[in-house]
Structure 1
Amino acid sequence: MFVACSTLCFANEPLEAALRHIAELEFDKVELAIVEEGQHLRPSEVGEDPEAAYLRLRRGPALIPSALHLDFGPVDWADPVQKKRFDNHCRLAKALSVAVITMTAAPAGTPLEREIARLTALSSTAMREGLVLAILTQREAVTCDPATALKLCQEVPGLSLTLDPSHYVGFKDSEVDHLFPYVQNVHLRDTGKGPDEFQVRIGQGRIEYARIVNLLNRGGYKRSLTVSILDRPDNAFDREVEVRKLRLLLETLL
């Protein structure tokens, strides 16, 4: 296992500044978030010109990409343009020597059969390129409960999970533990119990980092623990301090 930093930690800075910031915090690995509504790389742009995205990333500091995190926003996946764009993201991942692509799941309430069909097609494309497709666990998505996330992994060949335990605060450990064999990426911050405590200072929430690392170790997990303290205006703390603090904490657990 190793520790990486998501570019979402500095999403409101220009991409080049965010990458420098991550390097200055002594990370050597970075998860690249490619978000349509973001200020860094966007799927609509990368999907049309992956070579330009590759060259832009290579001009930055010598960080090793650990994964791609893709958020296309609300798009029609029956549109051949979107398929082409996803194909090009797979090519970018291979050029960057990235093995895992994290995708956002469909919104909560989406018929499960429709999501299974979408993910089956995407996972098949990823596998043909030698990549792992991992679906993100989120409160606002069909993966909002562990049982549904588990069913998706069981129904879609080759599908894995990017586990974000903050979204499962309030569920029993026994409900979440069944997911660990499918985990290929992890997003971490600290989260409290209250509705306004999605991000709190490290140590003030309910995320059990040591337990998560132990469960991953048991399954032979070799991939990233990604610091993902989101760059939000409602943060009541110094985000840079908390990013550094979480890196140091996770490194003591490895």
Structure 2
Amino acid sequence: MASVLLLAEEETARRYADKLEPMQLRVESARPLQIRQIPEAVQQLAGDLNSSRFAGLIVTSARAAAAVKKAVDQLKARVPEIVYAVGVSSAKSLPEVARSRCVGFEAGNANALANLIMAEAPGPLLFPCGNLASDTLPRKLEEVGCSVKCLTVYTTGPNPDLSDDLLRLQQTCGIPPTVVFFSPSGVEYSIPILKTLGFDFDCAKLLAIGPSTEEQIKKFGLKCWATACEPTPQGVATLFENKS
């Protein structure tokens, strides 16, 4: 049976494993990131949402969506009439009132979402994000005069247990030769450890959840075997259906 390593958070890995295991794949996972919500920033988010200064909200990650959910459910924040989200997982992590107003989640990446927003030109936008968020989307919007306030509501860093987790996997059943990376930061933190463990990149198949993750793989001088057309379990499953 072929095997695959998902370098993702536990909840994400479970969702993708549910899709891949029926395809006769043995799925292993390891968590490359340590993510922490910033309580005072979530308080600020609630204040900004209640200020009515923003015509819309931009959400590009499930963690940012979780901060919005906390601001709405626990701090009684109001949600703007328009909510832009990248990806289904981001949309699903929003509170119900925000999901009902959500558009653009089929865009799949920040560039595509920026094009959609520019076409609508809704007014000032609030963008809760992580400390490692790319500036691609706000920069592109601001170039055409769309005001965007970025607010860091969570931090992302390397999981201090990743090296031990991968070593344990190597010693028990071996690190699968096919690896799926779920974020540029996951690539950045994982590849040096894999190199230290002697992982054979020449014979490996490295898969990316999206274009920015693919670019990060290439920055290490490595070949990206395939990139999902959309950041969903089906998008990754399709890679295994189409590639051999």
* TM-score (norm: length of structure 1): 0.30
Q: Which has the larger radius of gyration?
A: 2
* TM-score (norm: length of structure 2): 0.30
Q: Work out which structure has the larger RCO, using CA pairs closer than 8 Å and 6 or more positions apart in sequence.
A: 2
